[in-house]
Amino acid sequence: MIAAIFEHLAGKEICSTPEEVKATLDKMVDGGNAFDIYKTADSLYPYISVLTRGEYTYIWFAPEDESSAGFQAYGEELGLDPEGSVDFYIPELTVISNDYILTRETAVQVVLAFLEMEEWPTCHEELPDCVEWEEL
């Protein structure tokens, strides 16, 4: 597993074990958090963005800075209203359709899948297959 930098509302830390990843993604500020996860301090791209609110999460992956709008993970069947949304405060309000809401456990799996990759994906076909992805 490669080490990664986790920048979030409560600080910045380096995680290099699955236990550290899970403990970091469990950190909350007023019931939620916003994580930017990247591999090196000298380059913010590629990076993973994980928004959390309670047990709900949203994941977006930015492979490059200008040439791609990135990819977002499809949600799971959580019994949420298909026409509804979840409000994330990061600290400003960000509203995400329930179609893209995942559980915290799934978010941990996705992040760990990325951290098992020596090189992070540059195309849709290389993204972790533990969730479905949509190109933006």
pTM above 0.85, yes or no: yes
DSSP string for 43-63: EEEEEEEEEEETTEEEEEEE-
pLDDT value at residue 103: 95
How far is the C-alpha of 101 from the C-alpha of 125, rounded, in Å? Answer: 21
Q: What is the pLDDT of residue 5?
A: 95
* Cβ-contact 6, 33 below 8 angstroms: no
- 25, 83, 128 from 72: Cα distances, Å: 18, 18, 12
Count CB atoms within 10 A of the CB of residue 92: 7
Task: Report pLDDT for 21.
Answer: 96
Query: pLDDT tens for residues 36-86?
Result: 999 887 777 888 999 999 999 999 998 876 677 889 999 888 999 989 999
- Residue 71: strand, helix, or coil: strand
Percent of the residues in the chain that have a pLDDT greater than 70, as a whole number:
98
Comparing 30 with 8, the larger pLDDT belongs to 8
Residue 50: its pLDDT value, please? 96
Beta strand pairing call for 133-135 and 32-40: unpaired
**For residue 120, what pLDDT band results from cuts at 50, 70 and 90?**
confident
Give the residue among 71, 107, 101, 72 at the shortest CA–CA distance from 85: 101
Amino acid 36: pLDDT: 94
Tell me, what's the pLDDT at 41?
Answer: 77
Neighbour-count burial of 27, counting CB atoms closer than 10 A to its CB (0-12 exposed, 13-18 middle, 19+ buried):
middle
pLDDT confidence of residue 38: 93
> Which residue type, as a one-letter code, is found at position 106?
T
CB atoms within 10 A of CB 103: 14
Name the pLDDT band for 33 (thresholds 50, 70, 90): very high
